[in-house]
Structure 1
Amino acid sequence: MTFQQHTLTLPGDAPGQSTTLHWYEIGPDTAGTKVHLQAALHADEQPGTMVLHHLLPMLREADAAGKLSARFIVFPSVNPLGLATRVLRRHIGRYDLETGGNFNRRWPDLYPQIAEAIAGKLTADAKTNIALIRTAVGTWLESQQPATAAQKLRLAVLKSAHDADIVLDLHCDDESLVHIFTSPELMPGLQDLADRMGSAATLTAEDSGGGSFDEVLPALYRKAQRAHPDHPIPMGAETATLEYRGQADVHDETGIKDAERLFNFFAGRSLIAATPPPAQPMPAATPFEATEVLRADRPGLLAYRVGLGDRVRKGDVVADIIAMDGPEAFLARTPLRAGTDGFILSRASAKYAVTGSSVAKIVGTQILPTRAGGYLLED
């Protein structure tokens, strides 16, 4: 039994600066299953941190009672660098102010880094092949020499996650219902997670275009499978991004309930010796390419005609954009219409829209030609 807090001091990029990363290790060291949980990779998205704040004592109690059969690695706030990026009283925790990069974009493509190391060594045994791939990734990670604090943070996170069996990255949207992003190969295997979470939608894509954290390990195993079709290589990790409503939804009440739902998911997987209550079946997964990201076609003030969860048909008005300049400034309203049938998954909390800004996500069932093969994120 273990319940240990760990810290890592990240030297800063300027003299006299440093940042401390905190994480917890819970459960038996000899457990056959490893679970990696992290929240607030986008450091201004705090609902997941509230969830893990409530989950940690549940795991500690279960560990003390000898009820854990998995080792849990928990990063309640995985991006301390982003916590510090405040400008003019606004938290800009989504982006690295030094580079402008999104903290959840351009994570490394691991397969090219280990392709040579595993060539000719794969066997007829699936478990042996997974172990071989994980060892190769671990060796490559150990060889890296990151320069900046952001690179050092990424390396520390990847060292933790690369050999995990379950990797859950807790985020939130702007203003939204609970939903999940994951890889198509992992469904319907993760339907139990969607059911436990009460996920309004599970959106799948092999490659959303941005190199998101939750796509790193599925891409690794997918590419290994395609490069070695004659060898058994299962998807060695179940990974997903869990979107816990909107940025303002940081409350004890929802945090407790969401933590209980995660606890029950792990109990349902027999990773915690507990009997979870029945889960409510939630919608099956749909391709992310069937979700429209509706964008403003002009600047103005948003006046929504729909709420979260409302169903719309193609052509229905989702919002009006109130003109803020021109001959009819503050008088004219231009309707912004849905481009597909579906339901409203998210909206913008900031009601001043500029041209091209995201206004809503509409979850449909038919892949949209404008989305197929393109960049799927907002960003």
Structure 2
Amino acid sequence: MTFQQHTLTLPGDTPGHSTTLYWYSAGPETAETKVHLQAALHADEQPGTMVLHHLLPMLREADAAGKLRARFVIFPSVNPLGLATRVLRRHIGRYDLETGVNFNRRWPDLYPQIAQAIAGRLTADPKANIALIRNAVRAWLDSQQPATAAQKLRLAVLKSAHDADIVLDLHCDDESLIHIFTSPELMPGLQDLADRMGAAATLTAEDSGGGSFDEVLPGLYRKAQRAHPDLPIPMGAETATLEYRGQADTHDETGINDARGLFDFFADRGLIDASAPAARPMPAATPFEATEVLRADGPGLLAYRVGLGDKVKKGDIVADIIAMDGPQAFLARTPLRAGTNGFILSRASAKYTVTGASVAKIVGTEILPARAGGYLLED
């Protein structure tokens, strides 16, 4: 049996403080395929942790039966630092309170760090090229000397993920349907994952603008490919951010079903020796640039006219904003209208809004000029 718990103690940045990171591994260390799973990088997003809570016993049982054909590394709550950021009885797990940096932003651009190390060494062998790139990344990671606890945590996570073939980062939205973010080169290859998850949408972008964790490895291989167009360099990792509904959707029932969806996905891939029922086909991927992030044009109280999954047309009223100041305070309602045709993927759970705050995401099919080439995240 290979199922094992691991811990890493991260010294704190202030006297007398430290943090423990927990993770699990299972499956043969010599397996050809490595899977890296993590949840709650945004530490206030717990549905993914519930999913992995239920997936771990499934993997442990499969491991005891000798059915694992891949090496699994699982971080059920990958950001213990964020778990501690509670302020005035509220969990602020999305941002590092010391720096203000979003925990899922500003992950490193790896290709510039290894470009010189692989120059002139790539060959006509695609597998050898992947190994060369991974070894170069590992050498660069080993050379780093992180100072803060947050830097040490990021380094530990990257060391685990850098040589994985499948990297899944489990998150959730505010109030939302299940959806996926991934790179365009990885579709339709990850359609089987979307089908197993029951994803209402799969949104693709090469660079959403924020340096998100799931874009680190695709960006590495994409830049290597473009720098060496005459050499075979595959996308060395299938990576995705999996959005498991909204923050309040942390329940055993959904967690069990979602864990089974992941287990069946791995079984479909031959990574677990198990059979699975047929998956229901879900929508094909669309560019993230075709999704409108509808923002409030003034402060007030939100009164939604649409629910999750509802179809809207450009100009339809998504919500009214009830004025909370001025001569018509608590009387006037200003309609907030859809800027595209599509369906409602997410809404805000907190109904008091301010100017510029995200109110809804509307998944369409046509790229929006205001979104093309811009910053795509909420944030």
Match of 2:279 in 1: 279
Cα shift readout 1:283-320 (whole Å, capped 9, x = no counterpart): 00000000000000000000000000000000000000
Separation (CA, whole Å) in 2 of partners of 1:76 and 1:171: 11
Give, in angstroms, the shift of residue 271 of structure 1: 0.2
Separation (CA, whole Å) in 1 of partners of 2:26 and 2:180: 25
| SS of aligned partner of 2:241 | strand
Match of 1:159 in 2: 159
1:174 aligned onto 2:198: no
Separation (CA, whole Å) in 1 of partners of 2:106 and 2:311: 34
- One-letter identity of the residue aligned with 1:93: G
Q: How does 1:13-24 map to 2 (within 5 A)?
A: 13-24=13-24
Match of 1:238 in 2: 238
Separation (CA, whole Å) in 1 of partners of 2:69 and 2:275: 14
Separation (CA, whole Å) in 2 of partners of 1:144 and 1:256: 39
Match of 1:322 in 2: 322
Gaps of 5+ in 2: none
Separation (CA, whole Å) in 1 of partners of 2:4 and 2:253: 26
1:51 aligned onto 2:51: yes
| SS of aligned partner of 1:361 | strand
Match of 2:214 in 1: 214
- One-letter identity of the residue aligned with 1:360: A
Separation (CA, whole Å) in 2 of partners of 1:344 and 1:42: 23
- One-letter identity of the residue aligned with 1:100: G
Give, in angstroms, the shift of residue 184 of structure 1: 0.1
Which runs of 4 or more aligned residues in structure 1 lie more than 6 Å from their structure 2 counterparts after TM superposition?
none
1:372 aligned onto 2:368: no
Aligned residues: 379
- One-letter identity of the residue aligned with 2:194: A
1:291 aligned onto 2:291: yes
Separation (CA, whole Å) in 1 of partners of 2:4 and 2:58: 14
Separation (CA, whole Å) in 1 of partners of 2:4 and 2:306: 47
Separation (CA, whole Å) in 1 of partners of 2:234 and 2:18: 40
Cα shift readout 1:118-139 (whole Å, capped 9, x = no counterpart): 0000010000000000000000
- One-letter identity of the residue aligned with 2:137: V
1:198 aligned onto 2:202: no
Match of 1:30 in 2: 30
| SS of aligned partner of 1:102 | coil
How many percent of aligned residue pairs carry the same amino acid?
A: 88
Gaps of 5+ in 1: none
- One-letter identity of the residue aligned with 1:128: A
Match of 1:137 in 2: 137
Cα shift readout 1:236-284 (whole Å, capped 9, x = no counterpart): 0000000000000000000000000000000000000001100000000
Separation (CA, whole Å) in 2 of partners of 1:323 and 1:191: 44
| SS of aligned partner of 2:9 | strand
Give, in angstroms, the shift of residue 97 of structure 1: 0.3
- One-letter identity of the residue aligned with 1:336: L
1:83 aligned onto 2:80: no
Separation (CA, whole Å) in 1 of partners of 2:66 and 2:28: 9
Match of 2:302 in 1: 302
- One-letter identity of the residue aligned with 1:154: R
Match of 2:96 in 1: 96
Separation (CA, whole Å) in 1 of partners of 2:177 and 2:164: 28
Q: TM-score, length-normalised on structure 1?
A: 1.00
Separation (CA, whole Å) in 2 of partners of 1:29 and 1:299: 54
Separation (CA, whole Å) in 2 of partners of 1:246 and 1:209: 23
Separation (CA, whole Å) in 2 of partners of 1:84 and 1:152: 16
Separation (CA, whole Å) in 2 of partners of 1:269 and 1:132: 25
Match of 2:70 in 1: 70
Separation (CA, whole Å) in 1 of partners of 2:122 and 2:64: 40
1:223 aligned onto 2:226: no
Separation (CA, whole Å) in 2 of partners of 1:296 and 1:209: 21
Give, in angstroms, the shift of residue 372 of structure 1: 0.1
